Structure 1
Amino acid sequence: MHKIIRRSMVATAAAAPVAALSLLMAPSAAAQPLNCPGGWWDPVANVCRGPVATAPLACAPGEYWNPISNVCRPLGQY
């Protein structure tokens, strides 16, 4: 019984610094949006985009318009 208690105390003591550091670093690791006056922040690319999206391209049948990269892509492809 003493061996189990001793091992659990050692494991707790070893994990305590990691847990404390993760709690301290969590607020600073959050994504902060950029200040984009007159536009919007794209969190995927981490850039500011214009207030109005570009005009959609006339894609061929079987393709779709990807507004982020402004290209036509085959259906089912990212």
Structure 2
Amino acid sequence: MFQMEGVCLMGETSGYFVDPRGAQAVLKILSQAIEVDVDFRDLESKAKEIDRIAQRIHDSEKGANEPTPGPSPAREDIGYIG
């Protein structure tokens, strides 16, 4: 149609975070196909950083779902009318 040739390389990600592992997987295949050596250390470092962030978020969500210590309020104490 536009007389353009192209390629789209895609890697699967969760969509919630930047995903260096997805980028690394795509880049690894591409580098093998075009026979180029690529240093993946920066991507691996970023992947570990994202893992730490995701773990902190998971831990904070887990803590938010745990019941608070102490007795539950009586049913009549939680109404807003009366």
TM-score (norm 2): 0.31
Q: Which has the higher helix share?
A: 2
Q: Which has the higher contact order (CA 8 A, sep 6+)?
A: 2
